[in-house]
Structure 1
Amino acid sequence: MPPTAGGSSAHCGAQLRNAGLANAMLRGAGLAHANLRSADLRSADLRSADLQGADLQVANLTAARLGSANLNAATLRDGHLSRCDLHQADLQNADLRHARLQGATLDMADLTGSNLSDADLCNAALRGADLQGADLSGARLRATDFTGANLRGAQLRAPLNSAILEGADLRGTYLHGHDLTGARMRGANLSGANLNRVSLTGADLRDADLSGAQIWYSSLVQADLSGANLMGTLSDDDLLVPGLNSLHMDGARWNLATEWPPEVYIAIRSRSVAVGEGAFVVAPSRVHDHAPVPQPVS
């Protein structure tokens, strides 16, 4: 029979290093500052448990249930957390360096200020999670779902091109030099972000907010900008030379709901081809559609 702990049990500072607690029923357990280093907690039930400041370094939490658990400032470095359920968990300032979180669920989790550098988050779900100020340097993010996540101020020195960033809050984020080829960023808020020298080739930016973003020497080739807000993004005269040399946009798709600065709209429309009612594709600079210029949505 697996070990159990009642919801009122308190084991603050408990010494459980290397403990065998697989399948343990520890829902609501008080384990603040406990030493659980290298413990076997596979499939354990730790929902709503208090693990604040606990040492879970190298612990095996594969498929464990930690929904709504308090892991504030906990150490989970090198931990095994694949397929772990951490929805709505408090992971503020947690140490998750090199943690294995493949397929984990972190929806609505609070990861503010957490360290996820070099963590493996492939196929993990962080929908609606708060990652403000989190460090994701070197993290593996293949098919990671950040839909609706708050990534403001996060360190994102990691490949993001296969991550799902639909509706993500990336306001003011430093993404200089990133490869976001084919990124799924519909409805994302990128206002004020640094997108200089970024490849957004083929990216889905429908309804995204890029207002005030810097996108010097970047690629929007074949990107979908339908309904996107680019106000204040392309305001410098150097971006208005024939061909828009510093911003590559050949094949980019947009529509009358796309918001451009007025002077940029004229330049963009002059080299775009109508492909449907109110829909356009930016042609190579040597090809122009001289049809009357329609008015953008006010």
Structure 2
Amino acid sequence: MARLRARWWRIKAAVRLFARDLGWGRPRRPIVVRDVNRRWVLLLTALLVGAAFVAYGWAIAEAPRMLDSNSVRQASPDARLSAHHNARLLVTSLGGAIVVAIGLLYTARNYRLANRGQVTDRFTKALERLDSTKAHIRIGGVHALARVLQDSPSHHNDTVDVLIAFLRDRSAPSPGSADQPPEDLPQELPEDVQATVTALAYRPRRRAAERAGLDLHDLRLDHLHAPYGRLQNSDFSGCRLREARLHRAMLDYAELSRADLRGAELNRSSLKHATLHLALIDHADLFAVSLSGADLSMSSLTGANVSHALLLDACLSECRLNGAYLSFSDLQLANLTRADLSHARLNRCRLHNANLSFASLRQAEARDSHFDGANMAHISAAKANFGFSRLNQAVLESADLRDARLVGAQMRRVDLGKADLRGAALIGADLAGANLSGADIRGADLRMARLCDAGGKNPVEGLDANDLATARTDHSTRLPPRLQAGADERW
């Protein structure tokens, strides 16, 4: 005991020195939280490694007893010795496998870090190339960034931001500068700008990035070439895309308000739920395009080819479609309120339950089309051709159908109240159950028109002289023989 007391000061000094090394003592300099945390991590790591070695040694020593069984106890001494050796060998092998796995994980981590450093170096060198005054060097920088996009998901957003910034810097000259092209003429796209758009349009598929889209608003991208491009959710508002080639492009939910797409090729593209409010799409090719749920209100599609297009539930209110080709298109439930469809081609279109109130269809061609249940009140369709079309239960109240052709049209239960049908051709039309109260049919031709049900006996389903009594007729109105006599007596 006396010897222990004599050595106590030495033990105390050693503990104090050890504590100072660990940062427990009073430091001579201010404590840095990061240094303290690092020391704690090192201490805990050392303790865990030591505990692992102790546990590993204990497992090797105790392996024979843990794996012992009755069969081993009853075996010969040589067999028991072999079993004990195999047990220790199994534990040793497991420990080696764990060490190898840890080594592989550490190697993979180092590889990722090295690869990240290489990608960062490539990214930095590509940025330096983008600042060059030579076009081919800038194009090389764009291609280098495109490879970074392909190889490194962690650099995806940074690379896209850099490419968009470069595109914005290169695609639109400052207003009033000597390089500013005339506003009325589309300009060829510079090669480095085209390469940048190509890299963005064909970037790798990553769901989060595709949901974010691209911010390309107010850019000048005439003659852009990006067929099959993945541009959904992108912002092209106010963008100039004259004569752009975007066939089969993915533009779902894209923002194209006020965009200039005159003469653009968008055939077979997907623009579902896209916004094209006030867009200029005159003489563009929209063949077989998908515009379901899209907003084209107040846009201009004069002379555009929109045939075989899918426009389910699309909004085309106050849209200018004069002279447009819409044949074979599906416009069911579409909103065409106050749309201008004069001289348009609507042959074999489907417009079930569409809203065409106050629309203009002057001299439009809508033969063999389906307007069943459509709201066509107050439309202006003078000299329009609805030959052999279906207008069953459609609302044509107060419609202007002067000199319109409705030859062979199916118009069962159609509402023609107060409609202007002067000079209209209704030869062979099916008007069973139609409402002609207040309609003006002076000069109209209803010869061979079906004015009753199939049996010709049901006055409720068909028209008779009493029904025509409320319509405006004169000597020029041509009716079927059975109604012509009664009409002559009234006149």
TM-score w.r.t. length of structure 1: 0.80
Structure 1 unaligned blocks of 5 or more: 272-281, 287-298
Q: Which residue of 2 aligns with 1:12?
A: 232
CA change 1:244–1:52 in 2 (3 A) is closer
- Which amino acid in the other structure matches residue 139 of structure 1? A
Per-residue CA distance 1:206-229 (angstroms, 9 max, x = gap): 111112222234343332222211
Counterpart selection for 2:298 from 78, 82, 88: 78
Q: Which residue of 2 aligns with 1:250?
A: 475
- Which amino acid in the other structure matches residue 369 of structure 2? A
SS of residue in 2 equivalent to 1:253:
coil
Alignment map for 1:218-237 (pairs within 5 Å): 218-232=439-453, 235=459
Per-residue CA distance 1:257-288 (angstroms, 9 max, x = gap): x5x8xxxx2xx3545xxxxxxxxxx64636xx
Alignment map for 1:285-296 (pairs within 5 Å): 285=490
Distance 1:229 1:150 in 2: 19
For CA contacts below 8 A with separation 6 or more, give which structure has more relative contact order: 1
Answer yes or no: is 1:151 the counterpart of 2:371.
Answer: yes
Q: Which residue of 1 aligns with 2:318?
A: 98
Answer yes or no: is 1:161 the counterpart of 2:405.
Answer: no
Alignment map for 1:35-46 (pairs within 5 Å): 35-46=255-266
Alignment map for 1:1-298 (pairs within 5 Å): 1=188, 2-7=223-228, 9-157=229-377, 158-232=379-453, 235=459, 240=465, 245-247=469-471, 248=473, 250-254=475-479, 265=482, 268=483, 270-271=485-486, 283=488, 285=490
CA change 1:18–1:211 in 2 (3 A) is same
Distance 2:485 2:331 in 1: 46
What percent of counterpart residues are identical?
29
Distance 2:296 2:412 in 1: 33
Distance 2:235 2:418 in 1: 51
Distance 1:244 1:136 in 2: 26
Aligned residue-pair number:
264
Distance 2:253 2:468 in 1: 57
Distance 2:409 2:449 in 1: 10
Note if contact 1:181-1:200 (Cα within 8 Å) is conserved in structure 2: yes
Shift of 1:252: 2.9
Per-residue CA distance 1:50-101 (angstroms, 9 max, x = gap): 1111111111111000000001111111111111100011111111111111
RMSD across aligned C-alpha pairs, in angstroms?
2.6
Distance 1:136 1:82 in 2: 18
Per-residue CA distance 1:15-53 (angstroms, 9 max, x = gap): 212222111111100111111111111100000001111
Distance 2:255 2:468 in 1: 59
Note if contact 1:68-1:87 (Cα within 8 Å) is conserved in structure 2: yes
Shift of 1:202: 2.1
Distance 2:331 2:301 in 1: 15
Structure 2 unaligned blocks of 5 or more: 1-187, 189-222
Greater mean alpha carbon deviation, residues 29-38 or residues 63-72: 29-38
Note if contact 1:107-1:126 (Cα within 8 Å) is conserved in structure 2: yes
CA change 1:100–1:240 in 2 (3 A) is closer
Shift of 1:249: 5.5
Note if contact 1:250-1:284 (Cα within 8 Å) is conserved in structure 2: no
Q: Which residue of 1 aligns with 2:58?
A: none
Note if contact 1:239-1:246 (Cα within 8 Å) is conserved in structure 2: no
Q: Which residue of 1 aligns with 2:153?
A: none
Structure 1 stretches of 4+ with a deviation exceeding 4 A read 238-241
Distance 2:398 2:337 in 1: 18
Normalized per residue, the structure richer in strand is: 1
Normalized per residue, the structure richer in helix is: 2
